């Protein structure tokens, strides 16, 4: 994947959030942005036939902080009875690199 164009200004988490959401929906994915829970909002929830991806994005913050947020705010709890595999994914974007620089699956705990 190539870097995002240099001409795009005002980069922040919302910018990358919108781009990722747009890409996923343009491919026909069933994705919800800012999925509200009792304790906050998951950035993206991607529904696939056999799994559900709970995705937290960070801009110039650690992947670890995204994983902790998913766990602390229990973003995956709503899907425990879905019968699908739940994948919690933390993604970090970098101002300098203008791209995804790190991603990790969060642990299997809530």
In a domain, 83, yes or no: yes
In a domain, 6, yes or no: no
In a domain, 53, yes or no: yes
pTM of the model as a whole: 0.80
Q: How many domains does the chain have?
A: 1
Q: What is the pLDDT of residue 89?
A: 93
CATH number, domain of 30, equals: 3.40.1350.10
8 Å CB contact between 69 and 57: no
Closest among 52, 64, 76 to 103, alpha carbons compared: 64
Q: What is the pLDDT of residue 1?
A: 43
Task: Tell me the residue range of the domain where 62 lies.
Answer: 13-105
Instruction: Give pLDDT tens digits for 8-33.
Output: 555 667 777 788 888 888 888 899 88
Tokens of residue 50, six digits: 């056999």
Q: What would the mean pLDDT of 76-102 be, rounded to a whole number? A: 89
- How many whole angstroms separate alpha carbon 98 and alpha carbon 87? 25
In a domain, 67, yes or no: yes
In a domain, 18, yes or no: yes
Is it the case that residue 87 has pLDDT exceeding 80?
Answer: yes
């Amino acid at each position: 994947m190539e870097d995002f164009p240099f001409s795009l200004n005002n980069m922040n988490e919302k910018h990358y959030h919108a781009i990722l959401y747009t890409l996923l929906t343009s491919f026909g994915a069933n994705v919800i942005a800012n999925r509200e829970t009792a304790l906050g909002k998951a950035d993206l929830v991607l529904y696939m036939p056999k799994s559900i991806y709970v995705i937290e994005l960070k801009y110039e913050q650690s992947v670890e902080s995204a994983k902790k947020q998913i766990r602390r705010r229990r973003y995956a709890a709503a899907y425990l009875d879905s019968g699908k595999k739940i994948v919690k994914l933390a993604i970090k974007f970098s101002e300098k690199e203008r791209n995804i620089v790190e991603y990790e699956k969060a642990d299997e705990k809530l």
